[in-house]
Amino acid sequence: MIDDELWSAIGDPTRRRMLDLLLAAGGGTATSLSDELPVTRQAVAKHLGVLDRAGLVHGTPSGRERRYTVDETQLARAIDQLTDVSSTWDRRLQRIKRIAETIQQTRNEAQQ
């Protein structure tokens, strides 16, 4: 089952970059992330809210800010879903390939 909220959150390139940065650093704040991204701190905070609602990050108070870390269990769930989608499409493409090959073979036989 595909979690649309999860994939909507991951679908944004800025949020994917934020996840990469958080994973690499072991966590971060809106301020530290905005230093690494071409968006404002306020935009980062909004993106973090989306990631938090999807369960991909969790924030804990850290002074005047919140420190965010990636929920690796939820990230693993996303990877599992992507793997399932990939497998489904691989099977579909193999069926299409077999159908196309059958059509081509039928045409070749008809031309002989």
H or E, element range at 32: helix 30-36
CATH number of the domain where residue 68 is located: 1.10.10.10
In this prediction the pTM is: 0.76
User: How many domains is the chain partitioned into structurally?
Assistant: 1
What does DSSP assign to residue 28?
A: B
pLDDT in tens, 9-45: 999 999 999 999 999 999 999 999 999 999 999 999 9
pLDDT in tens, 33-83: 999 999 999 999 999 999 999 999 999 999 999 999 999 999 998 888 888
| Residue span of the structural domain in which 37 resides | 4-111
Tell me if 109 sits within 8 A of 34, measured CB to CB.
no
Distance CA 36, CA 33 (A): 5
